[in-house]
Amino acid sequence: MNEIDPARRFSPEAVRKFDGPTDGDASGGMNDVARQVATQYRRDTMSPIMVSGVLRMVEFGLLLVSGLCVYFYYVGFFNYLAWQYPVTIAAASFLAVVLLDVTDCYQVVSLMRPIANFGRILLAWAGAFALMALTAFAMKMSEDYSRLLFGTWFVVGFVLLFGLRLVMSRLIRRWARDGRMERRAVIVGGGKAAEILIRSVEKQPYNDIRICGIFDDRGDKRSPPIVAGYPKLGTISELIEFARIARIDMLIVSLPLTAEARVLQLLKKLWVLPVDIRLSAHSNALQFRPRAYSFIGSVPMLDIFDKPINDWDSVAKRAFDIIFSLIGIIVFSPVMLATAIAIKLDSKGPVLFKQKRHGFNNEIIEVYKFRSMYTDRSDPTAKQTVTKNDPRVTRVGRFIRKTSIDELPQFVNSLLGSLSLIGPRPHAIAAQSHNLLYNEVVDGYFARHKVKPGVTGWAQINGWRGEMDTNEKIRMRTEYDLYYIENWSLLFDLRILFLTPIRLLNTENAY
């Protein structure tokens, strides 16, 4: 039988082009039970990937510092420093972390059971010393090293390493018990299939999955209101609203691959959410190669969508935003000061204009701009698009809009975290095209909110900026935004950042 690549089977393009009903805005209201459950999960959790990543750095630092302390204890801090000792200690510390990683000692299951993994930890630490000794022998440097010094470090380092693991196991168990470190999942689709899935997940030892509820469009006859002890909280449309409130990590679709039409209809609604979407494969007769699956314990899942810019990528992007936002504020401070003075002299009213816009996951954020309109004619809802020679725009406003100087205060938004420096531009919550809201014009429009909006973006540097006076313009802007989300990298952000001032020279669509 020819095997099907699941990544091709349910690509974003396939979902977007599927001809079926959609409900991106989730206008229907949740019931009280669902809203109460969603409120319980408003707080962010700690990602296991982030915790294990930080532990890697802490353990490297701990081993390095302990090795240097042992070295200075034996030779004296102010005595001659033999360069090969610190270099070897650093190399052995790094190698130990790599070997611990290779032997899966940074998996959450291993971190929760340090005593059961005592042998693997000892083997990884001893392996680092063995490779270090082998390298010294091959380079004919072994006689230069003190066996007593490295023997002492081996004992001290292992005691510290294992002691830290004991502390981490207690912390992780406490975090899991308090709901601070877990993966929150919602089951999509009820009935017997969902019950089998839930029982399978719950059987997994040291499971970090917390099931928050079940959502299904089917009535109570085909999909019971309680499945394996978990309530059915509503329909798929209500799930969209639920996931806007609760900090959900994963949606698990409990439907067979043979129900392809229904699966695609569900994904068409769900892919706009910034969560991992998995298709349960525990009961599917169609089998893929093992590498096609991800696993919750031993329960196989097909990865349909991954949350974009997650874990360490989000840390790197946030650092990028802080660094370049500070640079932007410093570099453009004279321009911003001059603009503020010009606005004050030109017309009455505040210097800054605050507008409510859609942010990450459809949250409402307040975006700063230099005021470019007369105060009594301003339109905070942006229901009426600014057009060429718009009488509402002041003389200074025309210049700063044309040159995009009015957007410079958004460096502050980026620094504070409501915006990213690079991302889809935030639209006003009531922005319209021909009396239709943007999400009514573009199928899957809200998928552009799976990441933080940006001060500048891929669509803007490709000419899709300014007035959105046709449906085609908003469709094209959305397509470019989705391309950015699906292809994000720090290099991509740098490219957009450095191209922005060049592309802003084209002011044809800015007024």
In order along its 511 residues, the chain shows pLDDT tens digits of: 444 344 334 455 554 544 444 444 444 578 888 888 888 888 888 888 889 999 999 999 999 999 999 888 877 655 555 667 788 889 999 999 999 999 989 988 889 899 999 999 999 999 999 998 888 777 766 666 678 888 899 999 999 999 999 999 999 989 888 888 888 999 998 888 888 888 888 887 777 788 998 998 888 777 888 888 888 898 888 898 898 889 899 999 887 766 777 888 888 888 888 999 988 876 555 555 556 677 777 788 888 888 898 888 888 999 999 999 999 999 999 999 999 999 999 888 899 988 888 889 888 899 999 998 888 777 766 666 676 777 888 888 888 888 888 899 999 999 999 999 999 988 877 666 655 667 766 777 888 889 999 999 998 888 877 666 677 888 888 899 999 999 999 999 999 999 998 877 665 655 4
Among candidate residues 178, 202, 231, the one where a domain is terminated: 178
Instruction: Provide the sign of the torsion angle of the four alpha carbons 203, 209, 211, 217, taken in this order.
Output: negative
In-domain check, residue 401: yes
228 lies in a domain?
A: yes
Domain boundary residue, one of 178, 209, 236: 178
In a domain, 1, yes or no: no
* Of 449, 485, 478, nearest in space to 317 by CA: 485
Same domain, 294 and 435: no
Assess if residue 43 is contained within a domain. no
Is residue 409 domain-resident? Answer: yes
For residues 286 and 347, membership in a common domain is answered with no
pLDDT for res 94: 95
Residue 281 lies in a domain: yes
The answer as to whether 357 is a domain residue is: yes
The residue ranges of DSSP E strands in 103-238, in sequence order, are 183-188, 209-215, 226-227, 230-234
Q: Which 8-state DSSP code applies to residue 392?
A: T
Q: Do 392 and 449 belong to one domain?
A: yes
Q: Is 329 found in the same domain as 256? A: no
- The CATH number given to whatever domain includes residue 12 is 3.40.50.20
Task: Name the domain boundary from 148, 178, 208.
Answer: 178
Does one domain contain both 122 and 139? yes
Do residues 237 and 89 share a domain?
no
Number of independent structural domains in the chain: 3
Compute the distance between CA of residue 264 and CA of residue 281 in angstroms, rounded to an integer. 16
Q: What is the residue range of 212's domain?
A: 6-38+182-307
Residues 84 and 15 in one domain: no
For CA atoms 438, 441, 445, 446, give the dihedral sign.
positive
Does residue 242 share a domain with residue 174?
no
Segment 159-167 long-range contacts (CB within 8 Å, at least 24 positions apart) = 160/62, 160/63, 160/66, 161/59, 161/62, 161/63, 161/96, 161/121, 161/125, 162/114, 162/118, 162/121, 164/55, 164/58, 164/59, 164/62, 165/111, 165/114, 165/117, 165/121, 166/114
**366 and 333 inside one domain:** yes
